[in-house]
Amino acid sequence: MITVTAFKWVPPFAAGQVRDHRVRWILNEAGWPYEIRLLDAVDQKSADHRARQPFGQVPTLEEDGRPPMFESGAIVWDIAERAGVLIPSDPVMRAQVLGWYFAALNSVEGALANVAEAEFFMPDEAAKAVRRPQVVPFAEQRLGELQTALGGRDWLVGEDFTVADLMMSSVLKIAASLKLLEAFPALQAYHDRCLDRPAYKKAVADQCATIAAHGPRDMRYREAQAAS
DSSP sequence for 183-214: G-HHHHHHHHHHTTSHHHHHHHHHHHHHHHT-
Q: 157: which DSSP letter?
A: S
* CATH number of the domain bearing residue 101: 1.20.1050.10
Measured CA distances, 228 to 42, 44, 46, 223, 225 (Å):
10, 12, 11, 9, 5
Contacts 24+ apart (CB under 8 A), 221-226: 221/41, 223/41, 223/42, 224/40, 224/41, 224/42, 224/44, 224/45
Q: Are residues 113 and 205 in the same domain?
A: no
**Into how many domains does the chain fold?**
2
Whether residues 121 and 155 share a domain: the answer is yes
Q: How far is CA 52 from the centre of its chain?
A: 19
- Is the domain of 137 the same as that of 56? no
Residue 110's domain spans which residues?
91-197
- Side-by-side strand order, sheet with 2-7: 34-39, 2-7, 60-63, 66-70
For every one of its 228 residues, what pLDDT tens digit does the chain have, with 9 covering 90 and above? Answer: 999 999 999 999 999 999 999 999 999 999 999 999 999 999 999 999 999 999 999 999 999 999 999 999 999 999 999 999 999 999 999 999 999 999 999 999 999 999 999 999 999 999 999 999 999 999 999 999 999 999 999 999 999 999 999 999 999 999 999 999 999 999 999 999 999 999 999 999 999 999 999 999 999 999 999 887
Same domain, 75 and 49: yes
Residue 7: C-alpha distances to residues 21, 74, 84, 129, 208 (Å): 11, 19, 29, 30, 11
Asked if residue 140 and residue 99 are part of one domain, the reply reads yes
